[in-house]
Chain A
Amino acid sequence: MRASPALACVVPPRYLAAERQRERRLMPRFQPIDFYEFDALLSEEERLVRDTVREWVDDNLLPVIEHATIERRFPKELIPQMAELGIYGANLPEEYGCAGLNSVAYGLIMQELERGDSGIRSFASVQGALCMYPIFAFGSEEQKRSWLPRMARGEVIGCFGLTEPDYGSNPAGMRTTARQDGNGWVLNGAKMWITNGSMADIAIVWAKTGDVDDVASIRGFIVPTKARGFSARDQKGKLSLLASDTSELALQDVRVGPESLLPNSGGLKGPLSCLTQARYGIAWGAIGAALACFDEALRYSKERVQFEHPIGATQLQQLRLVEMLTAITQAQLLTLQLGRLKDRGTARPQQVSLAKRANVSMACDIAREARRLLGANGILVEYQAMRHMANLESVYTYEGTHDIHTLILGQELTGFSAF
């Protein structure tokens, strides 16, 4: 602190210029249309959680995302900020250093993050739903106490290795193995398309401990990425999720101790239950991306003048906007009910499949239509629509492709498996 004279005096202006940057609360903030009084269905706490993350996204994520996209890098500077807010594993209990939020509040966080960028939401989904959740659900008490608080603080970053080069939609076929060695394990195999793969401190690796066709022998392992024989390589050439680390993992005789095994994992239902958590978040996230595109398109339609009137004054563009509003409103109500079911403990994975499938498809359509409404500007990175449009193609594919969710629901309806 500076020494201050007791009497009034005048010192040179020190922070007058910086002052302008402090107008955070007085700057425009994202305020989407709430056509069906959706907000009234939320508790005060749920709204406060959403508005907090919404403001953080406006202030900190949106200003960096354009460059991160062009430079094809994950904006790592956001990691500690999200940790400080308490975003990672926010729906897990307070005793493990998490916020203990309900599912709806958690979903609203995902919505706001993806309103910024699917890549940032992916980071948070992987850290929370795909890495912290399996430790919480299948880990020993010791593992939970050792890992979860550090992961909540963003000191340990995780990645989730399920997909393999030859086993995407069909993870049951995985070839990665874990063999008992003394009281530890030796892992061998390759994982592909792994979000956070190159920057992670630990990987949750799913591997078969038995025969290659023994699906029940699939177990989860917490593998430190600095272990000998573990390597990660950035996936080059992506045209989607540019602000996200997607990597290939190779495990060559990676030796880990017994404390690495998630003791309560067994069979495919382990990784699938993680995916249900993450898919739930994605269902909300897709609404966020759609809201961003809709908001941008609506603004643009009022400002862009052609043939002496705003393009928003034409029936064709109004149709586009009305379709967007309708689809978003439907998705909000559907997803909120899913969240309420989840909080009641009665949500089923098939219901999560329906929401992931419907919402991501909806968001893909809206992003594309928004991009078209924006004309040539719509292909620029300064606008959001095309970034979201490209991102959402990954979201459409990961966490169970749109088709796979169709098959899950088809089986649910008819009883016939059509995989």
Chain B
Amino acid sequence: MKIVTCIKRVPDTEARLKIAAGRDIDAAGLKFIISPYDEFAVEAALQLREAKGGGEVIVVSVGEAAAAEQLRAALALGADRAVLLEAPPTLDGLVTARALAAELKDANADLYLFGMKAADDDQQQVGPMVAELLGLPCVTVVAELELGDGKILCHREVEGGIEVVEAPLPAVVTITKGKYEPRYPSLKGIMAAKKKPLEEKEAAAGPSRVRLLDLSHPPERPPGKVVGQGADAVPELLRLLREEAKAL
């Protein structure tokens, strides 16, 4: 079983982001992580490999040289080897998808996993686009995977229920928060990661046709209103909910 998992380096979801010159995120002093949904995908890959009792998990990232840090973090979690496709940051999902497809077209993997979206630009494009470029079936926003004979069963949480979808292998699946609680890397795993192969090469990335024009923080929320205290405040609260908020 050979599983490719694609991961992206993103700013820590905890970080308070500053905007530099009104155009981009100020990276100074910023901590970066594996995008959380991609981390679910890495965990899914590791669990499938463990369930199979063998196989290979390859992590691939398109990004700047610094993304090697996230690849090594994935190796520390247990992936077997890593490939970094170096490219400048882009908002054009197709550029990233083409770079991945060029690398993966001869990968002969059984399964290609992605996070359902990147925690930074939230576009949800790359997984399905890679599937399209590789001509593979694609299932998105999957909470749990189950291996069948030459096929994959994907559990999807839909409104009010759970849907199970089947696809033949090889397939592309994008993972959401579900069964796969990311493990902690073990300290031994962190040490072992140094010895695992990490291949770095230029991405076959074309020009971006989508570009960022402006980046700003949302307007500050107006402060809440205290209408009074205790039971006395209830009539006024009801009036406001009815007349101003029109919630009742």
Residues of A within 8 A of B (CB): 1-2, 4-16, 19, 22-26, 28-29, 31, 34, 37, 44-45, 48-49, 52, 55-56, 84-87, 90, 94, 98-101, 105, 109
Contact = CB atoms under 8 A, between A and B. Distances in A.
A10 B194 contact: no
A52 B163 CA distance: 34
B166 A7 contact: yes
Given A49-B190, A99-B188, A4 B153 contact: yes
B165 A56 contact: no
Contact of B72 (A6, A16, A44, A87): A44
Interface stretch (B104-112, B126-134, B178-186): B178-186
A48 B73 contact: yes
A115 to B, nearest CB: 16
Contacts of A2: 146
Of B72, B177, B190, chain A has the most CB atoms within 10 Å of the CB of B190
A29 B184 contact: no
Q: Is the interface of A mostly helix, strand, loop or mixed?
A: loop
Nearest to A90: B187
A45 B178 contact: no
Contact of B187 (A4, A25, A29, A87): A87
B76 interface: yes
Interface string B52-76: 0000000000000000010011001
A2 B155 CA distance: 11
Contacts of B160: 10, 13
Interface of B: 12-15, 29, 31, 36, 39, 69, 72-73, 76, 143, 146, 148, 153, 155, 157-158, 160-166, 177-179, 181-182, 184-191, 194
Contact of A25 (B73, B164, B182): B182
A101 B191 CA distance: 7
Contacts of B157: 13, 16, 19
Nearest to B166: A6
A10 B191 contact: no
A23 B166 CA distance: 27
B219 to A, nearest CB: 22
Contact of A24 (B146, B182, B185, B186): B182
Contacts of A31: 12, 14-15, 31
Given A8-B165, A19-B178, A22-B177, A44 B69 contact: yes
A14 B156 CA distance: 12
29 contacts: A4-B164, A4-B166, A8-B163, A8-B164, A10-B160, A11-B161, A11-B162, A13-B162, A15-B143, A16-B157, A22-B177, A25-B13, A26-B13, A26-B36, A31-B15, A44-B69, A45-B191, A52-B185, A85-B184, A86-B186, A86-B187, A86-B188, A86-B189, A98-B188, A99-B187, A99-B191, A100-B188, A100-B191, A101-B191
A37 B29 contact: yes
Contacts of B194: 45
Nearest to A152: B188
A22 B39 CA distance: 13
Nearest to A98: B188
A85 B181 contact: no
Contact of A10 (B153, B162, B166): B162
A10 B177 contact: no
Contact of A48 (B13, B15, B148, B190): B190
Contact of B36 (A15, A25, A28, A99): A25
A64 to B, nearest CB: 17
Contact of A13 (B15, B161, B187): B161
B65 to A, nearest CB: 13
A25 B180 CA distance: 12
Contact of A14 (B29, B162, B188): B162
A14 B155 CA distance: 11
Contacts of B165: 8
B188 A5 contact: no
Q: Which 8 A-B pairs have the closest CB atoms?
A: A86-B187, A99-B187, A10-B161, A25-B36, A99-B188, A86-B186, A4-B164, A4-B153
Nearest to B158: A10
Contact of A4 (B73, B146, B181): B146
B184 A55 contact: yes
A44 to B, nearest CB: 6
B190 A45 contact: yes
Given A45-B191, A86-B187, 8 more contacts: A1-B146, A4-B166, A5-B164, A8-B165, A22-B178, A25-B13, A55-B184, A56-B184
Contacts of B177: 19, 22-23, 26
A222 B52 CA distance: 42
Contacts of A34: 29
A4 to B, nearest CB: 5
Nearest to A51: B31
A351 to B, nearest CB: 25
B89 to A, nearest CB: 20
Contacts of B186: 84-86, 99
A60 to B, nearest CB: 9
A11 B73 CA distance: 36
